[in-house]
Amino acid sequence: MIATADKNLGTTEMRHEMALLAGARAVELSDLHHWWMVEAPQRAAEILEDFWNDPALS
C-alpha cells in the first residue's frame, strides 16, 4: 500500500517502481500518511480483504 502523503519513504513513483521490481501489487491510498491504517481503517480493511480473497493468490 502506498500512502501518497507519506513522504518519509520516497516518492510515490519510487514506491511503485520498487513494487514492480518485487513483483508486488501496489495500491495507492490518496492523501493518507504513514499511519494510513489508523487514518482510514475501513478503506485499509477493504484493501486487505480484497488481497486476502484474491483467487489468484490461492
Average pLDDT of 41-57? 92
pLDDT in tens, 3-48: 999 989 899 999 999 999 999 999 999 999 999 999 999 999 999 9
Q: How far apart are CA 52 and CA 48, in angstroms?
A: 6
If one compares 54 and 58, the residue with the highest pLDDT of the two is: 54
Contacts of 28 (CB under 8 A, 6+ apart): 1, 2, 4, 12
pLDDT at site 15: 95
Q: How many residues does the chain have?
A: 58
What is the model's pTM? 0.78
Where along the chain do its domains lie?
A: 2-57
